[in-house]
Structure 1
Amino acid sequence: MISAQDDLMGHQLPTTFDHVASSDPAWVERYWYSGHRVPEGDIVLDLGMGYYPNRNVMDCFAGVSCEGVQTNFRASRRLRGSPLATEVGPMRVEVLEALRRHRLVLAQNASGLAFDIRFEATTQVHEEEPHFRRRDGRVVEDMVRMGQFGRYAGWLEFQGRRVDLTPDRWWAQRDHSWGIRAGMHTDETRPPTLAYPPFFYVWGQIQFEEIGVHLYAQERAPGRMFYLSGELVGRLGEAPLRRARMTGFAQRITWADDPLGQTIRSGTFEFTLQDGGVRTMEITAMPARYFLKGGLYGGMAGWSHGDDRGPLHVEHDTWRHDDPEVRRVARTLGDHVVQARMDGKTGWGILEYGVGKGYPLYQDIQHFPAI
């Protein structure tokens, strides 16, 4: 069907913008945003929105974690009628100026979580290395992802509190991905769940005043990489950094004494860059962590990303991170706020991480799920 976007230049197919090149139901386009208060690292806000043109679905989530309490909001709608409106129930995402200014809104609703926030970009955009995989001859992943750093301004309400967000205290990061995305089914209420070979992975976005660090590393054993994408990016409006993409990566992690799951306490990352230089970054975990299962990553209680839940479906819940049953459901995948030190400078950002059974290091935490 014709939509407002069809009045713009840029068509890639002889059809309307609400169609994509592949009919694979795994085709998805997704926005993700995260932000946190600095220097305390005590509050983290996460939100995302997914567009599934071959499943006639758009869904979204938002959540806040503070002092070990996590509030989750989730919603889903059918696409047809307004296929490209980035809005699901009370939540919407507005691109005010591409690659520079976005607006994120969650209107008042039964969850008690609400916000009206502007994302203001501070750095140039990073484009990850391509994601392409086949399994048994079939393409199961063919997607691209871009990331960018920024600051938040606006207000946030949660758990009966109202917090004003100012750019000096609220640092943020976002990504935008599209294409065929591999499944990550970890919902034990709807078996079978996916089994993984041994691995360590870390995905992170960490921002300093002058540069940002994007990192995505996956390895079967220390130094045995099967995917690496990373780059140091400069500030918005300045000349791009030269030969600043990563060509090598090494890590050493110290784990927290957490009886309920995999939790980083601190670590050291070493990056080799295209120009031959080596940079070392020390990271320390901060209090706030948002478990992405609350946003349906991997599926939860029979609901997975892209599932048709009817014309409009909205739900919410509240988790305590010290509840063993919550942590059993939440698993490991989450956005954990960290403080970083590199080249004598201090920065903040988020890390996602996990260690799969059989990885040669960190065996004392491998009885917990890696994702």
Structure 2
Amino acid sequence: MADDRPVPLDEYPVHQVPLSMKHLATGDRNAYDRCIFHVLDHEGRALLIVGLGVYPNVGVIDAYATLRTGDTLHAVRASDALGDDRMRLAVGPLRIEAEEPLRRLRLVSDDELHSDLPVPKVLWLEEDPGPLGAPFFVMERVEGRVPPDVMPYTYEGNWLHAASDAEREHLEAASVGILARLHDQVPPEEAEFLALPGEGDALRRHVTAQRAYYDWVVDGRARSPLIEAAFDRLEELWPRDPGAPVLTWGDARIGNVVYEGFEPAAVLDWEMAALAPREVDLGWTVYLHRFFHDLTVTFGQPGLPDFLRRDRVEARYAELTGHTPRDMDFHTLYAALRHAVVMLRVAYRQVHFGEAAVPPDPDTLILHHGSLRAMVQGSYWDRARP
């Protein structure tokens, strides 16, 4: 009796005859192969249908995914030329992975489903903290160059500082475009898992989380009068209408972008992502550049005063999105405050390991205490404007 049991390669639609891959046969050049999956959750609240077809006679591979939840239907379709790797079941954002042939499959729709941001694809998740001390993702490698932090790109002697004004303007516009695309393209409901806990709107919860982080940093140590004054000043400047929350990048700065030439090739470092008003990202982008620029000027170099200027960033963002940034005095102060908490945490960590001592004035542990104080007093942007 013939053995009709399947073999692992039968998981893949790469053969053109209705037989297991254990049999030798001549396929019909006009035939095609396909796989279709119907997935139901245990409660019957969702239905997922995924299909993928391989058409060797016309050199095409296509796929679709349809998800129904309640009365809402989401559909994705993709088609492309059939490549040389017939074992790779992927087209566009959709792919099928045979983790254990004939036992377990994984159906994947990549993030590009909602956005065309250049984010490297996630290849693997390692949940064992052994190798690096914490669970981690492995992403695709992207070639390019990154504006340096040490020494910062605002100092002389690096590729961005050496670029022409026109090249830096191009990079600036493209970088603001990252924020515009992220904020406009990703539906907030798809990022609901990033909503911060607590009472109030998204901005209130965001600031509350930062205050909790500050309280953790100073637990058992000297508090910072400057940071606490900045929190008080935020309350005085609080936006009348914070605006609807969007998916924010969080650490939105050019030092977290890989550039090919002067075009963004990869957007990295998403650990601070959250649902928040658009201006949270814009304020961080503007202030983090000012942080590096001010530091450079302190050491006697001119820096890059005309790069990532607040007025130009706001105008470019409004042009791309139709949304005019609001309450930017609040949001740039908030960015400087958040960065101050990080700086204080770094300093107290050095104290913990005996690498530094706490000075009489703990505010001096904050590298940008001068600019933060000027923001609290309302004088920073008067002297910063060209």
Same fold (TM over 0.5): no
Give the TM-score, by structure 1 length.
Answer: 0.25
Greater strand percent: which structure? 1
Rg: which structure is higher?
2
Give the TM-score, by structure 2 length.
Answer: 0.25
